[in-house]
Structure 1
Amino acid sequence: MEFTTERLTIRPFKSFDLQDVFKIYSNDETCKYLLHTKWTREIMQESFDKKLKNSSLTKDTGLSLAVVNRKNVIGDLSVWYTGIKDTVEIGYSFSAETSGKGYATEAVSHLVRKLFEEFEVHRIQATLDARNSASQKLCERIGMRKEAHFTQDFWSKGEWTDSIVYGMLVSDLEN
């Protein structure tokens, strides 16, 4: 899957994207609410290789996409099937320097349209750390609805955290 938006190119990762992606995932603030810890130089190649392998979305493999502005990777979109019929989950991370410029909204909103139109998914969901208010606002901006709030349901980085699940159907898209 590859597509462009007004300001972005969204495509599978390429080997030369490693340093840009390392800048995203070596930032403490960016990784604060993610499932993994920040990348170090020791694990960056191994972690990045997983993204390179995820170049197409199938029932068995997830998809990782680079969000490129000009020539720099500024974000990472992930999609995988949940095991529930025609349902996918999305995840996203963006470089701290791009915060507040609308790139995440632009990229994720185009991604969900592509998933509904080209993959004919029935439902898209996002599960996030409840403390991640920026991610909650993004989900709401693109038309997702808050469907669940689970209290202390996930052990992450040495503490129990709350999870929030957002979801949407094709009928939730604003035209």
Structure 2
Amino acid sequence: MNITTERLLIRPFKRNDLQDVFAIYNNDDTCKFLLHEKWTDEDMNKRFDKKLANCALTKESMLSLAVIYKNKVVGDLSVWYTEMKDTVEIGYSFSNEVAGRGLATEAVSSLVYKLFDEFNVHRIQANLDARNIASQKLCERIGMRKEAHFIQDFWNKNEWTDSIVYGMLTSDLK
């Protein structure tokens, strides 16, 4: 799957994307609200190989996409089917270098349109750490609605955290 927007190219990862992706995930701030710890020199190849393998969205496999801005990977989009019929969950991470430019909104919004239009999904959802205000704002900017706030429902990185679920249907597109 390739998507081209006004400023971005969104495509499956390629082997030469490793250093750009490592720069995103070797950052404490970026990984603070993610389920995994930051990448290290020792584990980056193994972790990146998983992204390379996630090159098609099927019921059995996740899709991972590189967000390219000015010939550099600045973001990572992930999509996977949930157990519910025609429902996908999305996840995303972006380099702090591009914060505040609207690139994440542009990328995630274009992905959402593609999922509804070409994959005919019924519902798209995002599950976030409730402390991740930037991610909440992104979900709201692209037309997702906050559907649930669970209190201390998730054990991650040695602490209980709150989770927020955002969701949208094709009728929610702005």
Same fold (TM over 0.5): yes
After TM superposition, the structure 1 = structure 2 runs for residues 125-164 of structure 1, keeping only pairs within 5 Å, are 125-164=125-164
Give the structure 1 partner of residue 72 of structure 2: 72
Pairwise CA distance, 1:31: 0.3
After TM superposition, the structure 1 = structure 2 runs for residues 6-155 of structure 1, keeping only pairs within 5 Å, are 6-155=6-155
- How far, CA to CA, are the matches of 1:5 and 1:37 in structure 2? 31
Give the structure 2 partner of residue 3 of structure 1: 3
Kindly tell me the number of residue pairs found equivalent between the two proteins: 174
Q: Aligned Cα RMSD in Å?
A: 0.3
Alignment-mate amino acid for residue 59 of structure 1 = K
Alignment-mate amino acid for residue 137 of structure 1 = K
Give the structure 2 partner of residue 165 of structure 1: 165
Structure 1: which 5+ runs fail to align?
none
Structure 2: which 5+ runs fail to align?
none
- How far, CA to CA, are the matches of 1:100 and 1:27 in structure 2? 17
- How far, CA to CA, are the matches of 1:31 and 1:95 in structure 2? 11
Instruction: Look up the SS of the partner of 2:150 in the other structure.
Output: strand
Deviations, residues 90-147 of structure 1 (Å, cap 9, x unaligned): 0000001110010000000000000000000000000000000000000000000000
Deviations, residues 14-33 of structure 1 (Å, cap 9, x unaligned): 00000000000000000000
Provide TM-score, normalisation by structure 1: 0.99
- How far, CA to CA, are the matches of 2:120 and 2:95 in structure 1? 30
Deviations, residues 43-82 of structure 1 (Å, cap 9, x unaligned): 0000000000000000000000000002100000000000
Alignment-mate amino acid for residue 98 of structure 1 = V
Deviations, residues 1-26 of structure 1 (Å, cap 9, x unaligned): 10100000000000000000000000
Alignment-mate amino acid for residue 58 of structure 2 = T
- How far, CA to CA, are the matches of 2:126 and 2:86 in structure 1? 15
Pairwise CA distance, 1:83: 1.1
Instruction: Look up the SS of the partner of 1:42 in the other structure.
Output: coil
- How far, CA to CA, are the matches of 1:87 and 1:54 in structure 2? 18
Instruction: Look up the SS of the partner of 1:41 in the other structure.
Output: coil
- Identical-pair percentage: 74
- How far, CA to CA, are the matches of 2:149 and 2:34 in structure 1? 17
Runs (4+) of structure 1 moved beyond 4 Å? none
Instruction: Look up the SS of the partner of 1:154 in the other structure.
Output: strand
